[in-house]
């Protein structure tokens, strides 16, 4: 069975406080976008290799046991010991380490596929609980609809925000940002106006009010990312931002917008969503 897990962008991202468990309290809106990977799960026959993992597309670094898709299988295998051996194949298209949640989306897709293929009858709540053990933003991909996220990103509430009447340009500059380094640059503090309140306003107010806290330190370390954001505004974006801890940036444009800025078009592969 095959699924096509999509990625997400963050509409605003506030880091509010440092928690005693080492995580951070945050506030954001996760918004699903249609840049997708491909994940296939099929039954295997080798009991000595309960999970076999292969990948194509963008190279997936790291040891196979540390891959989130494999961890998703092992998590359910621990809870359901009779889960049969499987082969998992991932075709990677979503850039990694880009603030788009592609790895989390792939892992959550494996949970969903295992639930369907082997008739585990997991409820949405159960899937969310398993997903939360894999990563803070994995539960969002169980919902996969716009959600207001708090806690460390796992407390989710569906929110009314619809960007279907706009075009989203997604740019990945290929700069690797260490998430742990990015968090170390921040001074967490509570904001005057919640992100959910700003999102409910006219989209034309977002440019002045909707902020990703990671932008300031990351743009200081990588000024070219700030230049790309300004290029998006110069091109006519209604709102532009970095997603998550970067380095992907996105611009929200009127529907059907065609870039006139050849510098952006020539320098980067732009995904229009």
What pLDDT score does 100 carry? 94
How far is CA 273 from its chain centroid?
15
CA distances in angstroms from 267 to 132, 225, 262, listed in the order given:
37, 13, 8
pLDDT for 162-185, tens place per residue?
999 999 999 999 888 888 898 899
> Kind and range of the H or E element at 238?
none
Helix, strand and coil percent figures for the chain, each rounded to 5: 35, 30, 40
Tell me the per-residue pLDDT of 60-70, one tens digit each, with 9 for 90 and over.
988 999 999 99
| Total-model pTM | 0.92
Please report where in the chains the tokens 């040891």 appear, as a residue.
Answer: 63
Give the pLDDT confidence score for residue 200 in this predicted structure: 95
| Domain covering 2-158 in this structure, CATH number | 3.30.230.10
Where exactly are the structural domains of the chain? 2-158, 166-272
Instruction: Point out the residues that are catalytic.
Output: 8, 137
Contact 92, 86 (CB under 8 A): no
Closest among 68, 65, 54, 81 to 131, alpha carbons compared: 68
Q: Which of 163, 158, 119, 128 is nearest to 9 (CA)?
A: 163
pLDDT at 97: 83
List, for residues 113-129, the tens digit of each pLDDT value. 999 999 999 999 999 99
Tell me which H or E stretch contains 57: strand 51-57
Fold matches, 2-158 and 166-272: no
Contact assessment for residue 242 and residue 249, using Cβ atoms and an 8 Å cutoff = yes
Q: Tell me which architecture the domain covering 166-272 has in CATH.
A: 2-Layer Sandwich (3.30)
| Predicted pLDDT of residue 257 | 84
pLDDT lower than 50: segments of the chain: none
């Amino acid at each position: 069975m095959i699924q096509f897990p999509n990625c997400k962008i963050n509409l605003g991202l506030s880091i509010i406080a440092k928690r005693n468990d080492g995580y951070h309290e945050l506030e954001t809106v996760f918004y699903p976008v249609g840049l997708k990977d491909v994940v296939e799960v099929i039954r295997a026959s080798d009991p000595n290799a309960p999970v076999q993992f292969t990948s194509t597309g963008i190279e997936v670094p790291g040891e196979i046991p540390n891959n989130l898709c494999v961890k998703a299988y092992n998590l359910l295998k621990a809870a359901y010991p009779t889960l049969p051996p499987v082969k998992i194949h991932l075709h990677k298209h979503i850039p990694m380490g880009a603030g788009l949640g592609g790895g989390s989306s792939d892992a959550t897709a494996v949970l969903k596929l295992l639930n369907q293929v082997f008739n585990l009858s997991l409820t949405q709540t159960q899937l969310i609980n398993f997903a939360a053990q894999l990563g803070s933003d994995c539960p969002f991909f169980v919902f996969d609809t716009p959600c207001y996220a708090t806690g460390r990103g796992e407390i989710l509430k569906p929110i009314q925000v619809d960007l279907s009447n706009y075009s989203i340009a997604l740019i990945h500059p290929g700069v690797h940002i260490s998430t742990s380094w990015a968090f170390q640059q921040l001074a967490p503090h509570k904001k005057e106006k919640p992100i959910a309140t700003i999102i409910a306003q006219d989209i034309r107010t977002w440019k002045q009010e909707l902020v990703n806290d990671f932008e300031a330190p990351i743009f200081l370390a990588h000024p070219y990312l700030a230049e790309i954001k300004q290029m998006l505004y110069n091109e006519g974006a209604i709102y532009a931002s970095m997603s998550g801890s970067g380095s992907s940036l996105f611009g929200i444009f009127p529907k059907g917008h065609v870039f006139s800025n050849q510098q952006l078009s020539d320098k980067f592969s732009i995904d229009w969503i």
